[in-house]
Amino acid sequence: MEAHFITGTGTDIGKTWLACALLRHWLAEGRRPAALKPVLSGFDPLQPQASDAGALLAALGREVSSAELDAIAPWRFAASLSPDMAAAREGRRIDFVELVDFSRRAVAAPQRPLLIEGVGGVMAPLDETHTVRDWIVASGLPCVLVTGSYLGSLSHALTALEALARVMRSGIPGDGAGVAAIAVNETPGSTVALDATLEALSRHVAGIPLVAIARDSPQAGVARLAGLLCPEAV
């Protein structure tokens, strides 16, 4: 499948940076990728180019305009809070059914490769009863889990994987929540080496491809992940 959900172990883990790197890689190969960031917290309408959605549009070579933002990020909130809290602060809420329908329409469209970037981590609340995990499952998409190499990242990554696996074991309908790859973004200044993080993580995630994204030379890791997600582009 050439459509994937980009999720993470938490916020500020590098989901948008990695999504943009993948988009630029595919564009350089002559492909026509697409990307969505349907739910966005911490959005400043005076500086839309500084937002995650603005970064995705720039990576795609598209204008950062109101119309383009509406097309890829219709649920935008000002507060840098979890989506449910940010929406409530504005007297709004995220309609989960509408969010899933929006995502599925994008999946049905012909543009490929397609990335749908989530918000926060796997278990970030979207409303009173739904989390990003529910969104992943309902989208029917395999996901890429983005984590770091900081001290504690192993526990965070394995906890996120367990949360995804629990949904699959529960028999809840949906083809999503499969993990296509784990991308380990090297954390600047970490006391834990990137290679050591991958080696330790590999002992617990048999069968899931691990991709290292080195901070100083990310190109090789980005290219490998791009090839895993869309083998035809290799």
Per-residue three-class SS string for 82-101: CHHHHHHHCCCCCCHHHHHH
Q: What SS3 class is residue 212?
A: strand
**pLDDT at position 166, please?**
79
Rounded CA-CA distance 74/96 in Å is 13
In 171-195, which positions are buried (b, 16+ CB within 10 angstroms) versus exposed (e)? eeeeebbbbbbbbbbbbeebebebe
Per-residue model confidence (pLDDT) at position 133? 96
With beta carbons less than 8 A apart as the criterion, state whether 85 and 92 touch.
Answer: no
Helix, strand, coil percentages (3-state) for the chain, rounded to 5, are: 45, 15, 40
Kindly name the residue from 4, 15, 25, 37 that is annotated as catalytic. Answer: 37
The amino acid present at 141, given as its one-letter code, is L
According to the model, what pLDDT value does residue 45 have?
95
Q: Are 3 and 104 in contact (CB under 8 A)?
A: no
pTM (two decimals): 0.93
Low-confidence ranges of the chain (pLDDT < 50): 171-175, 233-234
Q: Does the active-site annotation cover 37?
A: yes
Number of structural domains found in the chain: 1
Supply the CATH number for residue 73's domain: 3.40.50.300
Q: Which domain holds residue 131?
A: 3-233
